[in-house]
Structure 1
Amino acid sequence: MPLIPRAVAGRRHPGAVIAALCSISLLAGLTGYAHGQAADRSAARQDDGPPVQAAPAPTGVWAGAGAGGRVRTAESVLQVVAHPDDDLFFINPETAQSLRSGRPVTTVYLTSGESDGVNAPRVNLPGAAAPARGPSARGDRAAYAEARQNGIRSAYAEMVTGNRATPWQRRAVRTAGGGFAELDTLQGHPQVRLVWSLLREAGSITRHRPHSLYGLWRDESAALGSRLTSAGPVRRSFRYTRTQLVETLVGYLRWFRPTQIRMQDPTPGRLDRDGRYADHQDHFAGARFLQEALARYGEYAARGAVPHFTVETYLGYFNGGLPHVLGGRTARNKLRSLDTYAWADRSRRPCGAPAGCGDLKMVPGQQHRGWSHGIRHADGDSVSWLRADRGGALWAYGVLDGRIAVRHRPAGAEARWGAPVLLPRTGIDPTLATVRLREGRTALVGTRTVTRDGPAGYRKEVGWVDQRAPGPAVRSGSAVRSGFGSWESLGTPETGDPAGLSDISAPAAAVGPDGTVTVVVRTSRHQLSGRVRQPGGGWGPWRALGGSGVHGTPAAATDGAGRLYVFGATANTVLAWSAPRPGGPLTGPYATGLPAVTGPLTARADGRSAVRLSARAPVSGHVLTARLSGALPRTARGAPLRAGRVADLGGAGGYGPVAAARLPGGRTLLATRADHGDVQTAVVDERPGGAGAEARAKPAAARVRWSRTGFLAAGAPAAVPAPRGAGVDLAVEGLDGRLYWARIRGDGTTGWHRS
């Protein structure tokens, strides 16, 4: 076994980083939507009692009408974070969704988060309790690390059982890297596990600390030592070299055999104002070590020795300065878990543990600086990964085991999805954009992270893979051919990893009527940069497109006349770029007059001279759409664009991009993530006067009916029109790495089927 259980005898503060993030304003309620403001004000701590969480289908069971009505899966989630509470701030509510569904969830904490060892409020805020008495107030790092563990155990127990006092079994284990870790298992719920790797934290967000995860990653230290807790089962100190830490992480992966891996952002970039890291150095350094481990673990998956896996990355500190994503019950539940971790009610709930039962450096719930109301996938999510060819066959493009996965379903009512065919190039990041070339072939654009050369060669590049000829993957002798060529690197607009921490977004891409392909990314300077492929196949250089304060992944689309539009969201509005003639250069940015939204944005053609932009409203998570018509002005930057009225289509909260496909009769199917982590769908009429049209913007949310699937999904759904007017084909990837597909008709669905 890579990790053998046996008995053996940074802190980074939410308030401290906000000063460094002052170049980004907190924008709760910026949109002015009354329902959003009310939901945000309601996100205070709940009364006593168990939190009300989502309860999707029980472990390994998906709801659906196909295949006997129930589909069995084998899911396992592994989360790897730097500090205790990073999961609660940056991955929740997805942590709670998985826990409450009964699926196996394991969270690995790389450092002990010992900080200065003082377990007491940092600032005197209204409602803050007096500083704690006892050893922790005098700077006991081992005791503070133990208190943080106690807070995490309470928060997880409450999310799973509703009772924070549910006991845990704690034991020491030997790691594959030759050190030790603590393994905690929740009593009565053996699928819920916490792993404490017990390494020292950096002790600073951005200052140079050679004896830290980042110092170890940069080869500035030969080894990083441990920080044991005051009451934990691990009693023997240890040290890890760089190689030993990677071996330890590979050991965790081989032991827990995850089908989805959740990690922090390895390329968070720098702040525009002063060039400091936009996230804690422990966060992205730990994520980079995990990337190295995943590259090695992927070799086991390639041999079939472990299950296929997907990866999701999560934005860190930068969330605090962007429009709030979460509101209502979802935000209250997340805040509840943070307050439980912080032992916010310690005056009413005494603790028998000498170290204390939570992290008292945490400020009261209303001061969590926006992180309690945010969650963003750092690589964005694509809704273009499902394609239909002219014969009615379906193609799905995703990333499994760090490689591009191509799935094919032949045309026909009884056809089944084939097994995924994995392209050879490794290190592919989670999100792909797909485009259809003029000849009917498909091309895939994404980013790839190179880790094999260590810190000297670490880089993130944009790449392109095109389909040589349409057709299913076939087996020829012992070789499998996917129909796609090899990965073609397009380089990066960044000058190097030290300059911007390789911070580029997932790409957006669009094809003009002349065959020109435009690829656009957001850079570490929070501007856009683009590269153009000519119809003959040659690529031009990266060209800066400007903009200011753009975050997330851009969106690109052409209207019916072939005009290209590119959109990028800022904290205040949406900016636009345009190429008024096919093949012409992009100009902009131009103002759209649209309000603040949460992304990722999606754009699609809407008639000959317009595109339709979709996004989510801050706080409420409602689906918003707007029709932007006509060629963009060629006058001074900032000239307004002709944008239709924003239509609020409602929905069950949630976050992430909006997939759309036309149904027969002119209506449109929308699909996106709901507040409980499942997929929700709605049928709207975007024609003038229809439900969802701008002319009916005010009552549209009440008139649009949303349906829920009730099962958890990874990433965003995708939809395409079915052949011969049969409806819409809708697909989503499960937490088990399998593909789930349904056909949506005007009168409902034919049921979900698993690949």
Structure 2
Amino acid sequence: MGIREGVPVPLAVTGAVVVSGLAMVAGVTFAENGIQARREPVPVRPAAAPDGKAGAAGKKDRYMQVVAHADDDLLFMNPDIRDVIAAGRQTVTVFLTAGEGYARGYDPYAYSASRERGIRQAYARMAGVRDRWTSGALVAGPLTVQVDTLTERPTVRLVWFRLPDGADKHTSTLGKNALKRLQRDLIGTNCVHTVVPAGSPFSRCASRADVLAALQALMKTFGTTVVRHQDTQPHGHDHKDHVAAARLTAEAVRGAGDPRLVAIGYVDYAILRLPVNLGPGQRAGKKAAFEAYRRHDRLLGPQKLPKYWGWTKRMYRRWPGSGVQLARGSDGLLRAFAVEQGGLYVWTQRNAGEWSGPLRIDPGFPLSPGITVGSVGDQWMVAARRADDTHGLVVFQAGRANAWQVTQLGAPGRERDRKHTGSPAVTATADGRIAVFVRTGAGTVAMRMQGKPLGTFGKWRDLGGRDLRDGLAVTPAGRSPIEVFAASDDAPRARARREATGRGTVMRWRMQETRPVRGEDIGRTSPAGPLRLSAGPDARTRLLHRDPRSGQYLVQKERADGTFAPPVRVGGVDAVDAPALATSDGGQTSLICARGGTPAGISCSFADGRGLSFGRWFSLGGPLVASPSVAFDSAGRAVVAALGDHGRLLINRQTPGAQTFEGWHAIAETP
């Protein structure tokens, strides 16, 4: 594109494309017998398509998880999976490897089959039904895979590819790290044999293209609208199979021909060095599901369990700020922003409360899901991170006329650290000069700022800090002084496998004119997830975060001298992600919303203007696929936005004159 770093470039804006009419993959067959310890071949018999109607697409199936090993789903994607099952939604979990890698000294087929039995028992427990399944063969493009369906809850299915585990250097035809080798085999010269006994109908030498085509065929067969995958860009140690599985899945999603297919990534091993972020009820449910599996995995001895129990206390989505972001402009109208399939989508509120869009803004390269937005005067701004190998940051700017331009900012720090660059946070001075902050790959905070409104950006400036976490918080655009907040890890990267103890800190930087002051500690705490800010009627900052020990929300109020008071507990709900927070004009009312309180749904609570007393929590229902965003419209009504199935924008508005809501409605998509 000939884009120079730091210089704005105009962009073309197009209408969104919605793909429908997914085709059924032929050849579905089921068998009535279960899987034996040595995994005998499964008989192949004609049977109905997944929704019970031959030849019909599985329109009720929505969620698909793709993981490398049996137990990755239970450890890193729960309680999200359990919540979807509890909500009665259709879910399919795909396991790419046989998980036989460490079965040294005994039959790898028997060990793999035992792990599969454990997974079936765990899913039956999450569904609250008996552990009874029907198994069969499904032709998924070039591969034939086994599908297990939970008999008393047929909305729950498991799919087994049985490719070699990365630790298996004996069974695998490519040696160790077969999945990684396959994922990197862009030419397509290699294939790996599935780990099944001779004569099995699932025996196949699968190439990279075969795996991608099979995943895409499954997405179409099951009518998938949300795909969950592992971490494509882990920050710290991770299993090579995890990364390969995540990247294959992400590539399959991009090539599936559906630009609105929602993809959500999850942190794997690295969650152990982050604070506990699941409430007591969620931890108990997650541990119970894993315990059902663990009894069938003979390699999970007592010496390994402390690490596994640590994983059951946490679940982190990969990109803070993923989902929809809602903000109000100077014209009093709201806009909603989200990244879907690597492109930026924008919905705009009309005068009568109706919405138009989405518009797709395509900068010519894919974006990561984590974004922040803001507005000052007539100017809108969105900060995002590139999802390619440059790991660079970008800023989108536009006025009321949707004439968008993009500025590439590159990535701060050393080249070797840039792949670990976090999600950016954006704000602006009162005269419209944009400032972008980001957690660098080295664990510090860096800033890059415009010299004048709509002008070029200066160079990256490192503001310091140590072992800082992704998920920065900045004061809203137009407010002075600009402040940025970051939470630190208590477990250094060099000891990433040690479990975090919760003894971290929160740091703040303040801008004096255009120069930031030195970072300062404002609290010895380790927030469970990203930080959130609001301003009370006195214009002082309120810092909101979750206590990792109790799961309750804490508020720290800024004093008159600029220091912060100790945290005050304000209640909470068994939430999953960081909350969304907004304060009305004048600071008289605040609204906090978070995923939780109901399976895959959202719960909210109103607070008084001081932000120190929340009322009762109430459910807005669900299920929804990502965290909500909240704002107050020009009439003073709270508006909650979230993404639903297939990336559609859902809006729920406050009832006039009451602390209730009208109910969710999907925004009709217009050019």
TM-score past 0.5 threshold: yes
Q: 1:538 aligns with which of 448, 456, 463?
A: 456
2:459 maps to a residue whose letter is P
Structure 1 spans left out of the alignment, 5+ residues: 10-58, 60-72, 119-137, 271-277, 303-307, 344-357, 451-457, 472-482, 633-641, 694-699
Q: Take 1:614 and 1:263, find their aligned partners in 2: how far apart are those partners?
A: 29
Partner of 2:247: 288
Partner of 2:44: none
Is it true that 1:249 corresponds to 2:215 in the alignment? yes
Contact 1:116/1:139, CA 8 A, preserved across alignment: no
**What is the RMSD computed on CA atoms of the aligned residues?**
3.0
Q: 1:529 aligns with which of 411, 435, 446?
A: 446
1:443-522 matched pairs, under 5 angstroms: 443-450=381-388, 458-467=389-398, 469-471=399-401, 483-493=402-412, 495-496=414-415, 499-500=416-417, 502-522=419-439
CA deviation map 1:110-164 (0-9, x unaligned): 111112215xxxxxxxxxxxxxxxxxxx42111111111111111112211332x
Contact 2:98/2:112, CA 8 A, preserved across alignment: yes
1:554-573 matched pairs, under 5 angstroms: 554-557=472-475, 562-571=480-489, 572-573=503-504
Contact 1:559/1:609, CA 8 A, preserved across alignment: no
Q: Take 1:493 and 1:155, find their aligned partners in 2: how far apart are those partners?
A: 44
Partner of 1:730: 640
Q: Take 2:218 and 2:448, find their aligned partners in 1: how far apart are those partners?
A: 40
Cα separation, partners in 2 of 1:86 and 1:334, compared to 1, 3 Å? same
Contact 2:129/2:153, CA 8 A, preserved across alignment: no
Cα separation, partners in 2 of 1:486 and 1:84, compared to 1, 3 Å? farther
Q: Take 1:160 and 1:319, find their aligned partners in 2: how far apart are those partners?
A: 25
Partner of 1:226: 193
State the shift of 1:532 in Å.
Answer: 1.7
SS at match of 1:5: coil
State the shift of 1:217 in Å.
Answer: 2.9
Is it true that 1:5 corresponds to 2:61 in the alignment? no
- Length-normalised TM-score, structure 2: 0.81
Q: 1:597 aligns with which of 527, 540, 549?
A: 527
1:134-533 matched pairs, under 5 angstroms: 138-163=105-130, 165-166=131-132, 168-176=133-141, 178-203=142-167, 211-219=177-185, 222-229=189-196, 234-240=201-207, 242-270=208-236, 278-297=237-256, 300-302=257-259, 308-343=260-295, 358-363=296-301, 368-381=308-321, 385-412=325-352, 415-425=353-363, 427-437=366-376, 439-450=377-388, 458-467=389-398, 469-471=399-401, 483-493=402-412, 495-496=414-415, 499-500=416-417, 502-533=419-450
Cα separation, partners in 2 of 1:582 and 1:84, compared to 1, 3 Å? same
Contact 2:323/2:338, CA 8 A, preserved across alignment: no
Is it true that 1:579 corresponds to 2:510 in the alignment? yes
Cα separation, partners in 2 of 1:487 and 1:580, compared to 1, 3 Å? closer
Identity of aligned residues (%): 25
Contact 2:277/2:529, CA 8 A, preserved across alignment: no
Q: Take 1:463 and 1:232, find their aligned partners in 2: how far apart are those partners?
A: 53
CA deviation map 1:188-246 (0-9, x unaligned): 433222111211121189xx976422223334994241342469964423131x33333
CA deviation map 1:313-337 (0-9, x unaligned): 1111111122211232211110000
Cα separation, partners in 2 of 1:648 and 1:8, compared to 1, 3 Å? closer
Q: Take 1:563 and 1:550, find their aligned partners in 2: how far apart are those partners?
A: 22
Cα separation, partners in 2 of 1:89 and 1:509, compared to 1, 3 Å? same
SS at match of 2:85: helix
Cα separation, partners in 2 of 1:559 and 1:286, compared to 1, 3 Å? closer
State the shift of 1:613 in Å.
Answer: 1.3
Cα separation, partners in 2 of 1:239 and 1:647, compared to 1, 3 Å? same
Q: Take 1:286 and 1:459, find their aligned partners in 2: how far apart are those partners?
A: 21
- Length-normalised TM-score, structure 1: 0.73
Q: 1:678 aligns with which of 601, 625, 629?
A: 601
SS at match of 1:203: coil
CA deviation map 1:379-433 (0-9, x unaligned): 0135881122344432111123332111122122xx4333422223452222221
Cα separation, partners in 2 of 1:568 and 1:750, compared to 1, 3 Å? closer
Aligned residues: 593
Cα separation, partners in 2 of 1:213 and 1:521, compared to 1, 3 Å? farther
Structure 2 spans left out of the alignment, 5+ residues: 1-22, 32-50, 52-58, 490-502
Farther off after superposition, 93-102 or 366-375: 366-375
Q: Take 1:506 and 1:708, find their aligned partners in 2: how far apart are those partners?
A: 29
Cα separation, partners in 2 of 1:541 and 1:501, compared to 1, 3 Å? closer
Q: Take 1:625 and 1:708, find their aligned partners in 2: how far apart are those partners?
A: 22
State the shift of 1:500 in Å.
Answer: 4.4
2:544 maps to a residue whose letter is S
Cα separation, partners in 2 of 1:566 and 1:173, compared to 1, 3 Å? same
Partner of 1:588: 518
Contact 2:216/2:252, CA 8 A, preserved across alignment: yes
2:156 maps to a residue whose letter is V
Contact 1:556/1:603, CA 8 A, preserved across alignment: yes
State the shift of 1:576 in Å.
Answer: 2.4
Partner of 1:708: 619
